[in-house]
Structure 1
Amino acid sequence: MSHTISSGSPGTTALWVAWARAVEHRRPDRLFHDDHAAAFLAAAGAEASTPPAEFCAALPVAVATRTAFFDEHLRSVTVGGIRQVVLLGAGLDTRAFRLPWPDGTSLYELDTPELLAFKEPVLARRGAAATCRRTPLAIDLTDDWPAALCAAGLDPARPVAWLAEGLLPYLEVEVADRLLTAVGRLSAPDSTLALTYNPEAMRALADAPSGRHLAGVGVAHPALPGRPEPWLARHGWQAHAHDIIEQAVVHRRIPAAAMAHTSPGSSASWLVTATIPGQQSHHPPPPR
């Protein structure tokens, strides 16, 4: 049975991200491989999966940078001993298939029934084989996802590596707070949390002409603080915020000269890694 992603849903931007990952995959100096991304685009059709022209220059840079950064983070924490990974709002992520997970790793992908109804048949047709124990969970993050996650096998008594990549702009601030509270309750000592954090950048986009495209796919522009550390600290996490422009320079996706136009701590977009303070962490943040 063929499934589609409806226009105007967050699944639309999942396709845009897949488009950007397919762009990176085709580069001879690619930061990662993702040969499933093109299959998602083919299944959706060019009209549905191509981002608006205003985003076509910047999106591949941002997506390649954040994907490589979080790949490095997840490799580090799982090599360090964590064997439970949860992708919140997983979208068309294919890390379960393309990263070399340690033996015994369980990876849970949470996203809407619509998104997974599109994703799973594409992967099945390709005969995609996960390199970990992969469990997709079709559930909205405003529902009782913690109960579903634990029923599927997550053990809250063991450390978890959480990833919320590109998720927060779709959540009202109250929902984001509830989500983070629930994550904390399921996080044993030595758990980690990684996420993208860009409320200021999203609010600036909302005021620009291109903002109409984001409004049409459910972006909520949550009223979160400009920097992630205070918000995460209120929920019990000690955060390290990494400027995405700096990381794009580190990963050779923009020239070093780009840093001349920014000042330290002034970024509107952050790649964040966090741990529960007061524990002896064995998982340092990726090198800057």
Structure 2
Amino acid sequence: MSSDQQWDIVTGVGVTALAVAAGRAVETARPDALISDPYAAAFVAAAPAPTPFPVTPGELEEYEGPAGLWTLMTAYLGIRSRVFDDFFTGAARDGIRQVVILASGLDTRPFRLEWPEGTRCFELDQPRVLDFKLRVLAERNARAGCAHTPVPVDLREDWAAALEAAGFDASEPTAWLAEGLLPYLPPEAEERLFKEIDRLSPSGSRLAAECVPDTEGLANDALLRDGGTALGIDLPALLPEGERRSLEEQLAPLGWEYDGRPVLESARELGRSLGPVPGGLERMVHAFARRP
């Protein structure tokens, strides 16, 4: 995908953000929910999606998409969302008051999590995606629990300059999140991303990321590919080719302390089972790093 391509919430990567919101809505409606996102279903209702999305467990059972895909996806998204919710609440508990959500999509953490007084949250994404999200949230009378600063920018461009222009303080420890982002970046763009994060991060900063070592495996998995096709998504076209270094290989030479957790381990720790999963998903990692 070239850097001059933009998307809204029903095209390109934007559709994946809408699907993730549907997954959070299903998780929220579960009796044993790991998260609560009161706005997720509203995004799905407000978007002219190319295909209906289930937003409750009952609808999930009746959904006519590729067999098993939505059940697997919503189960995983509940786990992923809780893991990174815990990352932010832990960072806030330890005194970090500056947060950056990269490629935030329809993330509503600034509005649904409890934040200590003085917390400032920046979220970066395509202008049309942010416009849609903020419009729906305003219609729901949502109020952020922190100082909330949207930064409309493409992460393949000079996002760091846009972030600093929006008031980001590079002298303050920061909690960074890259959730559902890295597979869509070319390897060289991913390397630039983490070098910029390193440049902007003083001692005490933290980073969490969803890492996909095998993007080729994801692109070629029949269940995921057919599921993408059903949503009007050409999944292989969205996942750039090329060899990638692991997050540990990128950050360790810069002085960051790394810790990685396979997604199946995250599931076990939360008392959930994902069952059989595609190989590309099984090898995914919830990664964490700290700058001493």
Measured against the shorter chain, the TM-score band is 0.7 to 0.9
Structure 1 CA distance, aligned partners of 2:14 and 2:254? 28
Is contact 1:15–1:49 with CA below 8 Å preserved after alignment?
Answer: no
Instruction: From 195, 198, 206, give the equivalent of 2:219.
Output: 206
In the alignment, the residues of structure 2 paired with residue 86 and residue 114 of structure 1 have an alpha-carbon distance, to the nearest angstrom, of 19
Query: Which residue, 171, 175, 188 being the options, matches 1:174?
Result: 188
Deviation at 1:249, TM superposition (A): 1.6
Tell me which of 32, 37, 40 is aligned to 1:37: 40
- C-alpha root-mean-square deviation of aligned residues, in Å? 2.3
What's 1:283 paired with?
none
Q: Which runs of 5+ in 2 are unaligned?
A: 1-6, 55-64
Cα distance between partner residues in 1 of 2:91 and 2:254: 21
1:158-214 superposed Cα distances (whole Å, 9 cap, x missing partner): 1010000010011000000011111110001110010000131x3212122333626
2:240 corresponding residue in structure 1: 220
- Distance across 1 between alignment mates of 2:122 and 2:201: 14
Distance 1:180 1:46 in 2: 33
Q: Does 1:75 align with 2:104?
A: no
User: Structure 2-normalised TM-score?
Assistant: 0.84
Structure 1 pair 144/232, CA: closer, same or farther in 2 (3 Å)?
A: same
Could you tell me whether the CA contact under 8 Å between 2:103 and 2:124 is conserved in 1?
yes
Whether the 8 Å contact between 1:15 and 1:48 is mirrored in structure 2 is no
1:147 is matched with which residue? 161
Inter-partner Cα distance in structure 2 for 1:113 and 1:159: 26
* Percent of residue pairs identical: 40
Cα-to-partner distance string for 1:72-105 (whole Å, 9 max, x where unaligned): 1110111101100000000100000111101000
Contact preservation (8 Å) 2:110, 2:145: yes
Structure 1, gaps ≥5 residues long: 280-288
* Deviation (angstroms), 1:118: 1.4
Matched, 1:53 2:56: no
**1:119-130 matched pairs, under 5 angstroms:** 119-130=133-144
What secondary structure, in the 3-state scheme, does the structure 1 residue paired with 2:238 have? coil
> Which residue does the alignment assign to 2:25?
22
Q: 1:4 to 1:188 in 2, by over 3 A?
A: closer
Q: 3-state DSSP class of the match of 1:74? A: helix
Aligned positions of 1:1-288 closer than 5 A? 5-7=9-11, 9-45=12-48, 47-48=50-51, 50=53, 53=66, 55-200=69-214, 202-209=215-222, 210-211=224-225, 213=228, 215-216=234-235, 218-221=238-241, 223-225=243-245, 227-254=246-273, 268-276=283-291, 279=292
The answer (yes or no) to whether the contact 1:199–1:223 under 8 Å persists in 2 is: no
Q: Report the TM-score, using the length of structure 1 for normalisation.
A: 0.85
Q: Distance in 2 between matches of 1:21 and 1:221?
A: 29
